[in-house]
Amino acid sequence: MKNILFIFLIKIYFINSVFTQSYTQGMLQFREYYINEFRTDENSPLKEKDLKHLKFFEIDSTYHVTGNFKSTPDEKPFDMPTSSGKIKQYVKYGTVKFQLQSKEYTLSIYQSLTLRETEEYADHLFIPFNDETNYEETYGGGRYLDLKLRDIKDNLLIIDFNKCYNPYCVYTDGYSCPVPPSENKLAVRIEAGEKMFGKKQKH
């Protein structure tokens, strides 16, 4: 019996090890793509010499979580404030409830009224959030996650905080970055994704 249990535990360890290695490799490719976007985007706020100042937490698969999605079809559009003082119109599309470090959290998911009318971003969903790393390791104004409508499957939704990124206003002036609503303030340290930009900001 002990031998069977030992073999079972070895198999579990092997499976988890393979997943972690595969996941880490995938995230490294994602980060490479993310950084390269700053090179190829003609509206990029960063120049090539600035890219070395992009900082990230160590990749950690425990921040790759599956949550329960709940739609909110009766929500009305609202004005989301931005860093510049301008407003952008969004509607609350739904919520996702997930567990992290043995505790349960909920984030609201939004859809831009402007972007959903475009062909390219019609299926785009947006999660701006704050957490307890803000003003220390990460930008005080919060970070963002992007999702697609097709990511929601059978009322389940994967949230990968390793993919969260900084608003453009972290890098330079001239951008109107949505300010995360208070309902999306997480009482936990999200030690994943992009850190504060390493170069002193220009203000």
At residue 12, does pLDDT exceed 70? no
Give tens-digit pLDDT for 135-147. Answer: 999 999 999 999 9
At residue 18, does pLDDT exceed 50? no
The residues spanned by each domain of the chain are 55-184
Q: Are 60 and 150 in contact (CB under 8 A)?
A: no
Q: What's the Rg (C-alpha) of the chain?
A: 19
Q: Please report which residue ranges of the chain form alpha helices under DSSP H.
A: 2-40
Q: Are 171 and 201 in contact (CB under 8 A)?
A: yes
Round to the nearest angstrom and report the end-to-end CA distance of the chain: 66
How far, in Å, are 71, 124, 141, 154 from residue 117 at the CA level?
A: 20, 10, 27, 25
Give tens-digit pLDDT for 154-180. Answer: 999 999 999 999 999 999 988 999 999
* Predicted model pTM: 0.86
